[in-house]
Amino acid sequence: MQHSGLDRRYRNPALPPGQRAAILVAQMTLREKIAQMLHRAPPLPRLDVPAYNWWNEGLHGVGRAGRATVFPQAIGLAATFNAPLVGRVAAVISDEARAKHHQALRQNHRGMYVGLTYWSPNINIFRDPRWGRGQETYGECPFLTARMGVAFVQGLQGHHPRYLKLVATPKHYAVHSGPEPLRHSFNAVVSPRDLRETYLPAFQACVQEAGAWSVMGAYNRTNGEPCCGSATLLQEILREEWGFSGYVVSDCWAIKDFHLHHKVTRTPAESVALAVKNGCDLNCGDIYPRLLAAVQQGLIGEAELTRSVQRLFTARFKLGMFDPENKVPWSRLPPRIVNCAQHRRLARRAARESIVLLKNANALLPLNKDINSILVVGPAACRLDVLLGNYNGLAPQLTTLLEGITGAVSAGTKVTWCSGWDRADLEWNLADVDVIIACLGFTPELEGEETAARVGDRVRIGLPGRQLALLRQLHATGKPVVLVLTGGSPIELNWAQAHIPAILLVWYPGEAGGHALADVLFGDYNPAGRLPVTFIKSLDDIPPFTDYTMRGRTYRFMAKTPLYPFGYGLSYTTFKYSNLKVSGVRGRGSGAPAGTRNRPSPAFKVSVQVANTGPRDGDEVVQLYVRNQAAGVPVPIRQLAGFRRLHLRKGRKKTVAFLLKREQLAAYDNHGQPFVAAGKYNIHIGGGQTGGLGRQVCF
């Protein structure tokens, strides 16, 4: 539709996106600008601007939009310790998102979950095992989270010189990780050291290294400021310090919390003014229409709204929304790629790589496919929701754990299933059983985001309900038991570790979960997943849930011995480390800030030889840890500083090298300023936090 008097230069693809946005927004009225700051942005027919819904989810596949490839939940992706794989997963998600978006436009469908602006990844630190949303994260380690987050953001946004494939939105910024029922009113009090050392590094990496074009604020306050209206977080750190030039979106309906629950403002008009003045450009919710009253009351100027709307339209221009299809490289991706065979294969690979072997006494696993009789017990064996986790899509081929087991064994193998709750039924099935596979653990009903129907967090972290009693009953039969665990969080497994011979953790494994489990159970795949979170022995071993200080939490600061440490995972083969070399030391530290210009980086090259000394081909996850002994201030007990997943055939060996950058040696003073002190640093490299090889170096 043509309109006389319009400055249509914003339609010119040759102009920079920011200039095009400025030209378009300059022609909007105040009311039109305000309307475009809502996640359900209405059309502006006189300006040829179509309606757009900004809300889309893609944690582990295109979410809530029907057919899609469903990958393992984010915590499972983290357990792969394979950042390139996570990048490939994200690239597939973005392919499917583009294909679904353009097909939806052909159908004149512009509603929720078919857009190009994705509110993923969740890069909050999983600091407490009770948090229900920990499943959405990459675990408890800032370094691992940063590497996975960067790979995911780059996979979503692509690397085109002109266009963004999607907009990625790291969330929830910042210091957000439960308790769920308190998130709308809670004030997370953190020291400058903890803020900079633990809670911000992944966000900084996603913004500065990966170029994330959007960030979502958190519900909570941080040190007294509501995160979606925090001058410290949104202005001083995100924009001024990190140079972020994209847009900020609020968590959904978070702005009304300012006056209703946080009590930092008195009225809706004050709340929306505070949010926009401090840089929250887009409102997930419906409160930003109060900006009209805020302008009329002199709480905010129209120029500040204009700034936000220009940021939003810059993103839409960078996505190619106003350009001819032949200019946008992904507009011709055919709908048939959604959940295609290639993507399904990747989902199966990711699920395989995510599985963690926690115990394998007397090499019970892998099982023989020609075994005579298997009894599969437990509700998780047949449930679809334990494949999906939350924020998920739907795949047309979802393989349950029972289906995977049944499909993998010999035609002569008897497979029986029972829930386990009926004692008579269980005893009837035990007559000729060779092995019991108990599929237990958590479900999305028991852990997840707070909703009207559930709290989300866990009060206890042991096996839920009567599952431990069932497991004891199975053990008492004298039959060998393989425990298969579903869930997205650490589980207290003290009794199981002491009594059950084999334990596998499959997380929420996605559409191919059953196939992946069977691949590991029967030896078609050698497991090598590693824990991205610490499995503690008891909640008594960690601080209260509402304490956001890091002292006593996670592998970096926890003095008590866990049941299974961060980075832990077993294999069907063995690996040996040798020939550790540390080279490239370039002078001694001066105590200057880690970010000082002209400081040499990397500081060290660390290399080691890894040999597969066991009976099977397999993957090893090489992990590099650093301990700072020189700082003179509180520092982590150890800190992951590098990891590499590699495949080695039996009898083969390979040299693996890491570049240990100067900033990775930094400690933080009481003001949160990084510095690298002269002195001793311990370097450890191996398949986990223990074992392997160590060296002390001076810098």
Contact predicate 523/366, CB 8 Å: yes
- Amino acid identity of residue 183, one-letter, is R
Q: For residue 591, is pLDDT > 50?
A: no
| Residues paired with 606 in a beta bridge | 582, 658
Count of alpha carbons within 13 angstroms of residue 636, beta-carbon side = 25
For residue 452, the tally of other CB atoms under 10 A from its CB is 4
Q: Is 447 a catalytic residue?
A: yes
Q: What gap in Å lies between CA 32 and CA 362, rounded to an integer?
A: 69
Of 205, 225, 206, the residue nearest 280 (C-alpha): 225
Reported as type and span, the H/E element at residue 152 is helix 142-157
Of 404, 384, 403, 406, the residue nearest 395 (C-alpha): 384
Task: Point out the catalytic residue in the list 257, 281, 447, 457.
Answer: 447
Q: What gap in Å lies between CA 468 and CA 663, rounded to an integer?
A: 45
Local structure of 510: helix, strand or coil? coil
Average pLDDT of the residues of the chain: 95
pLDDT at residue 120, as a whole number: 98
Q: For residue 593, is pLDDT > 70?
A: no
pLDDT at residue 598, as a whole number: 41
Local structure of 273: helix, strand or coil? helix
Buried b / exposed e over 279-297, threshold 16 CB at 10 Å, is bbbbbbbebbebbbebbee
When pLDDT is cut at 50, 70 and 90, the band that residue 3 belongs to is: low
pLDDT at residue 297, as a whole number: 98
pLDDT at residue 170, as a whole number: 99
Burial (0-12, 13-18, 19+ Cβ within 10 Å), 679: middle
Structure confidence by residue, pLDDT tens digits, 96-132: 999 999 999 999 999 999 999 999 999 999 999 999 9
Task: Point out the catalytic residue in the list 140, 251, 281, 492.
Answer: 251
Distance of CA 174 to CAs 150, 196, 204, 559, Å? 17, 11, 11, 26
For residue 350, the tally of other CB atoms under 10 A from its CB is 27
Read off the pLDDT of each residue in 343-368 and give the average, rounded to a whole number.
Answer: 98
Contact predicate 436/482, CB 8 Å: yes
pLDDT at residue 513, as a whole number: 98
Structure confidence by residue, pLDDT tens digits, 274-311: 999 999 999 999 999 999 999 999 999 999 999 999 99
Of 360, 323, 678, the residue nearest 523 (C-alpha): 360
Strands (E) located in 551-692: 575-583, 604-612, 618-628, 639-648, 653-660, 667-668, 674-675, 680-686
pLDDT at residue 588, as a whole number: 44
Reported as type and span, the H/E element at residue 85 is helix 83-106
Residues in the chain, overall count: 699
Structure tokens at 291: 């900006």
pLDDT at residue 422, as a whole number: 75
Read off the pLDDT of each residue in 341-363 and give the average, rounded to a whole number.
Answer: 98
pLDDT at residue 424, as a whole number: 65
Q: What gap in Å lies between CA 57 and CA 544, rounded to an integer?
A: 31
Q: What gap in Å lies between CA 261 and CA 220, rounded to an integer?
A: 10
pLDDT at residue 597, as a whole number: 39
* DSSP β-ladder status, 618-628 and 481-486: unpaired
pLDDT at residue 595, as a whole number: 45
Q: For residue 236, is pLDDT > 90?
A: yes
Low-confidence winner among 324-333, 417-426, 434-443, 454-463 (lowest mean pLDDT): 417-426
Structure tokens at 477: 């039969």
* 18 contacts: CB under 8 Å, gap ≥ 6: 310, 314
Task: List domains and CATH numbers for the chain.
Answer: 20-50+168-318 (3.20.20.300), 354-557 (3.40.50.1700), 575-698 (2.60.40.10)
Read off the pLDDT of each residue in 254-272 and give the average, rounded to a whole number.
Answer: 98
| Residues paired with 505 in a beta bridge | 356, 485
Q: What is the model's pTM?
A: 0.97
Q: For residue 250, is pLDDT > 90?
A: yes
Q: For residue 269, is pLDDT > 70?
A: yes
Phi, psi values for residue 210, rounded to 5°: -90, -15
Read off the pLDDT of each residue in 590-599 and give the average, rounded to a whole number.
Answer: 43
Q: Is 304 a catalytic residue?
A: no
> Higher pLDDT residue, 15 or 585?
15
* pLDDT > 90 fraction of the chain, expressed in percent and rounded: 94
Local structure of 579: helix, strand or coil? strand
Reported as type and span, the H/E element at residue 117 is strand 117-118
